[in-house]
Structures are given as structure tokens and as C-alpha cells.
Amino acid sequence: MKPLIGVHNLSFAYPCGRCVLHHVHLELYPGQRLGLVGPNGTGKTTLLQLLVGLLVPQSGHIEIMGRVMRGEQDFVRARREIGFLFQNADDQLFCPTVLDDVAFGPLNMGYTPAEARALARSTLARLGLEGFEDRITHKLSGGEKKLVSLATILSMSPRILLLDEPTTGLDESTRERIIQVLNDLDVAMIVVSHEKEFLARTTTQVRLLSGQQEDMEPCVLSG
């Protein structure tokens, strides 16, 4: 089976900064649910941003659905299949209302405005957000923004999910709802999280990013 995502010998440093990722190797196969853990600052967010082309590696390469990513044009195509949840919801939400934000992706994919709004409403309902349609996005609470952010990517039915700390700031019942929604999906995903219980319930394998030379060996969640 071919991987949906292949990361080969990837290294990255921010300008004027130390090297954050060192020769990283990683593969994500169809149906696979990978948790990504590691201490603060080891480059988990950086790796996800590289996978969607928001950053450019100094060396190594990324393959998505069998295609080597050589530039922005390749990533534009790849991003149609990838739902990327930013760590900070304010980076994700930019429309005046919740419905506009959640309908934005489907509209961009070519759905009619009516279809896009219908998809947005049903996605909001799956996340327990009925009644949020006309709320002003920037006035939502942190947890509400997180849920709406997740809705903005689920409304596009991506084949791959890249989730950067999806449960930060969520109460227990909202976290349970997210676990249910994620477990009902038939997609491959990489989930960055510091919450071991959440990862144990939503992913099938966990990899450790340690900040050293990386071949991302599987690790066992303890504690």
C-alpha cells in the first residue's frame, strides 16, 4: 500500500534560528491514525506546517498521495484533500459569522452557496453547534472557536486530517464529542497533542518527536 503522506529525510530551521527538525522520516497510510508527541518546542507544529506547504524545508522532501511536493502549485492541489487544524483557532477563522466560516471551504471547492450552507449546517450539527450559525466568530469563546475551526475543515470532507492540539481549552463533554466525531470518520490523520488519554482513544499509533536525529520510532503512551 502506498502512503498518503511520505516525509523523507526532512530538515528545517527557521531563518536565524537553530535547526528544528533533523532528518525526519514519517509515513501516513490510508486509514492510519497517528499521534505525534514530544516536548514543547521540538517542532510538531512546524512539521504539520511543512506538510501543508506553509513552510519550506531546507532539505529532504514530502510526498502527498504519491506526488512529490515541488512547490506551491503542488501544495494547492494537495491541500484540497487535507484538513489542517491550526493550533490557534484565530489563525483559522476569518469570516464575520460562523456559518460563513464553515461554508467557506465548500464554496471554494465549487459547491453552490446553497449547497455550501447546507454542508456547513450539517457539519455544525455533527459537532453540537446548532444555533451557532449567526454567531460572530471573533466573539466566540476559546473552546467554541476550536470546535468551529474543526467544523471548517470537516465541512470539506478531507481525506487526511492534520490536527494541531485539537482539544486545548475544551471541557470534558466537548472533548468527548470530538473523540466521537473523529472516531466516526474514515480518514487518515496525524494528531499533535499533549493529552495521552485523548491520543489513546483517537489514534492507533504514536510517534515521538524528540528534537534529536529523528526516525520517529513508535512510542508507548504511559501514565
Ligand X SMILES: Nc1ncnc2c1ncn2[C@@H]1O[C@H](COP(=O)(O)OP(=O)(O)OP(=O)(O)O)[C@@H](O)[C@H]1O
Going by C-beta distance under 8 Å and a sequence separation of 6 or more, which residues neighbour residue 7? 24, 25, 26, 27, 47, 50, 51, 60, 62, 63
x/- contact string, 36-75, with ligand X (CB under 6 A)?
A: --x-xxxxxxx-----------------------------
Q: Does 110 bind ligand X (CB under 6 A)?
A: no
Q: Among positive and negative, which fits the CA dihedral 199, 200, 201, 207? A: positive
**Cβ-based neighbour number of residue 5 at 10 Å:** 22
For ligand X, give the closer residue by CB, 20 or 120.
20
Beta carbon of residue 93, minimum distance to ligand X (angstroms, whole number): 19
Q: What are phi and psi of 20, to 5 degrees?
A: -95, -45
Measured from the CB atom, is 32 or 42 closer to ligand X? 42
Strand intervals (E) in 51-202: 59-64, 67-68, 82-85, 160-164, 188-192
Handedness of CA 79, 84, 90, 91 (dihedral sign): negative
- Tell whether residue 207 is a contact of ligand X (CB under 6 A): no
Distance in Å, CB of 17 to ligand X, minimum: 5
Interaction between residue 119 and ligand X (CB under 6 A): no
Closer residue to ligand X in complex, CB, 21/150 = 21
Tell me the site size for ligand X, rule CB under 6 A: 11
In whole angstroms, the minimum distance from the beta carbon of 8 to ligand X comes to 19
Q: With beta carbons less than 8 A apart as the criterion, state whether 214 and 21 touch.
A: yes
The minimum distance between CB 46 and ligand X, in angstroms, equals 3
Structural contact between residues 66 and 144, judged by C-beta atoms closer than 8 angstroms: no
Tell whether residue 191 is a contact of ligand X (CB under 6 A): no
Q: Does 89 bind ligand X (CB under 6 A)?
A: no
CB of 44 to ligand X, least distance (A): 4
Least CB distance to ligand X at residue 103 (A): 29
Query: Does residue 20 bind ligand X (CB under 6 A)?
Result: yes
Tell me the torsion sign for CA atoms 80, 85, 91, 92: positive
- Amino acid present at 98: V
Give the whole-angstrom CA distance, residue 213 versus residue 25. Answer: 10
Using the minimum distance from each CB to ligand X, give the nearer residue, 43 or 53.
43
In this chain, which of 17, 66, 71, 223 binds ligand X, going by CB under 6 A?
Answer: 17
**Binding-site ranges for ligand X (CB under 6 A):** 14, 17, 20, 38, 40-46
